[in-house]
Amino acid sequence: MNNPFDQISDAFAPRYRVNLSIERLDGSIMLTLSDDSGIVAKRLISQAQRNDPVRLQRVVDSIRLGLAIEQGENPLEVLAALTRDPRQQHFNASHIAN
C-alpha cells in the first residue's frame, strides 16, 4: 500500500525538513519545506491529489521543478531529469549528464 505521507517525506528529505499538517476540513494538507535559512516552499495538497499516487507524484515533481528554478537551475534540464526518472527522490541538477 502506498503511504502518501511517506512518499512526500521521502521525496524531499534529507535536503529539507518536511512538515505536513491538516489544513482544512476537506482533508487538504499543507506541505512546508524548510532548511537552515527558513521556509523554502509551502504547498496545499488536496485530498484528491494526496490519495492518487500519480497525481501526488505530479505535485512532487512540480514542487521540485519550482525549487530548482528558484535555485537558478536550467528548467529544461530539470524537466528532462524528472521525465527520465519520475520517481527520483533527491533531484540535483549536477547529476544530469551534459
DSSP 95: G
Residue 8 falls within a domain, yes or no?
yes
Report the candidate in 36, 55, 35, 37 with the shortest Cα–Cα distance to residue 45: 55
Q: Global pTM?
A: 0.74
More confident residue, 17 or 87: 17
Number of separate domains in the chain: 1
Mean pLDDT of 49-70: 92
The residue segments making up the domain with residue 42 are 4-85
Predicted confidence (pLDDT) per residue in 16-53, tens digit: 999 999 988 888 999 999 999 999 999 999 999 999 99
What the block records as the C-alpha cell of 8 is 512526500
What the block records as the C-alpha cell of 80 is 528532462
Average pLDDT, the chain: 83
Residue 92 falls within a domain, yes or no?
no
Residue 13 has pLDDT above 70, yes or no: yes
Residue 98 falls within a domain, yes or no?
no
